[in-house]
Amino acid sequence: MELQGKTAVVTGGASGIGLATARQLASSGMNLVLGDIESEPLFAALEGLRSEGANAIGVVGDVSKEADVLALRDAALAEFGTAHVIFNNAGVGGGPAIGTPKKVWDWVMGVNVDGVINGINAFVPIFLEQNEGHVVNTGSLAGLGGVPGMGAYCASKFAVVGISECLFHELQLSGKNVGVSALCPGFVRTRIHESHRNMPDELVNYTEKPATKAATGFASAAVNAGIDASEVAIAVETAIRNRLFWILTHEHAAIRTTEQRAAWMAGGPPPGINLEKATKP
């Protein structure tokens, strides 16, 4: 896809991978519509991008709410006439498979899975109608293999990868000029380990439990050892331009995880988990 003068919508655009990708796409001449649940970081991000010359607007909203994602779409249509890229990127971390309250599972699945579904439902009809567009869904290495301590997060990211694969096949069958990518990074230096900042108020007690604090501390060390978000942004742009399905910024770990799962299915030993390997490209 040629990007100059086209419009990209980025959810979770106020921080981390979303903001870095917005900056990357703006440098290639795309208009931006950023969505985020955090208003102050969103406005600060917009100010920064505009000062670098970007044509950018923002909408505060929660991707788990269909109406908020439709409002994001409507803002794109009102400002730029249409949209060509939806980057379903907003996401949050969650708790382990054992002991995570159902309400925390619901929050993680709501943001990470419903957010992607809402983005697809809002934008893919437009892309099909205009016979041009690209969807990028943010999965994770945690969507390619189970990881201890990340039950809710893995469940949500496996769902994102599954939805993306199905969408790929459906778009192929449609014969339309619309593509989809599944972004599955390992650790990236962002604020993902501070996801609880956006937890609904009634769940805040959960973040104060010692087990949650320990898991957050562990995750922050791995995240801080990760790659720079600008590297992910370049990979996302390359995938949009060249219509690549898999965006594997940590390719070695992604392939190794997948091979180990296949060997396990064929009767071999369960995969060994080495999170340090997921910090390196």
Ligand X SMILES: NC(=O)c1ccc[n+]([C@@H]2O[C@H](COP(=O)([O-])OP(=O)(O)OC[C@H]3O[C@@H](n4cnc5c(N)ncnc54)[C@H](O)[C@@H]3O)[C@@H](O)[C@H]2O)c1
CB of 7 to ligand X, least distance (A): 19
Question: Is residue 226 near ligand X by the rule CB under 6 A?
Answer: yes
Phi-psi region of 251 (alpha: psi -120 to 50; beta: other; left: phi over 0): alpha
CB nearer to ligand X: give 128 or 194.
194
| Residue with smaller CB distance to ligand X, 104 or 132 | 104
8 A C-beta contact, residue 92 and residue 108: yes
Among 21, 24, 64, 257, binds ligand X (CB under 6 A): 64
Q: Shortest distance, CB of residue 43 to ligand X, whole angstroms?
A: 12
Angstrom distance (rounded) from CA 218 to CA 233: 25
Tell whether residue 188 is a contact of ligand X (CB under 6 A).
Answer: yes
Q: Which residues pair with 58 in a beta bridge?
A: 34
**Site map for ligand X, 230-249, x if CB under 6 A?**
--------------------
In the set 127, 158, 187, 206, which binds ligand X (CB under 6 A)?
Answer: 187
Question: Rounded to an integer, what distance in angstroms lies between the CA atom of residue 155 and that of residue 160?
Answer: 9
Q: Is 111 in the site for ligand X (CB under 6 A)?
A: yes
Tell me whether residue 153 is one of the annotated catalytic residues. yes
Catalytic residue among 123, 153, 158, 187: 153
* For ligand X, the closer CB: 20 or 124: 20
Q: Please tell me whether residue 185 binds ligand X under the rule CB under 6 A.
A: yes
Q: Which of 100, 138, 164, 257 binds ligand X (CB under 6 A)?
A: 138
Contact map string, positions 8 to 47, toward ligand X, x by CB under 6 A:
---xx-xxxxx----------------xxxx--x------
106: its two tokens: 């619901």
What is the number of H-type helices and E-type strands within the chain? 10, 7
Most distant pair of Cα atoms in the chain: their distance: 56
Starting at the edge strand found earlier in the chain, the sheet holding 246-247 runs 56-60, 31-36, 7-11, 85-88, 133-138, 178-183, 246-247
Q: Is the distance from CB of 207 to CB of 196 less than 8 angstroms? A: yes
Residues 6+ apart with CB under 8 A from 256: 277
Q: Is residue 181 within the footprint of ligand X (CB under 6 A)?
A: no
Pair 48, 70: CB distance under 8 Å? no
Of 126-134, 169-177, 189-197, 207-215: span binding ligand X (CB under 6 A): 189-197
Residues involved in catalysis: 153
Residues that bind ligand X (CB under 6 A): 11-12, 14-18, 35-38, 41, 62-64, 89-92, 111, 138, 140, 185, 187-188, 190-192, 195, 198, 223, 226
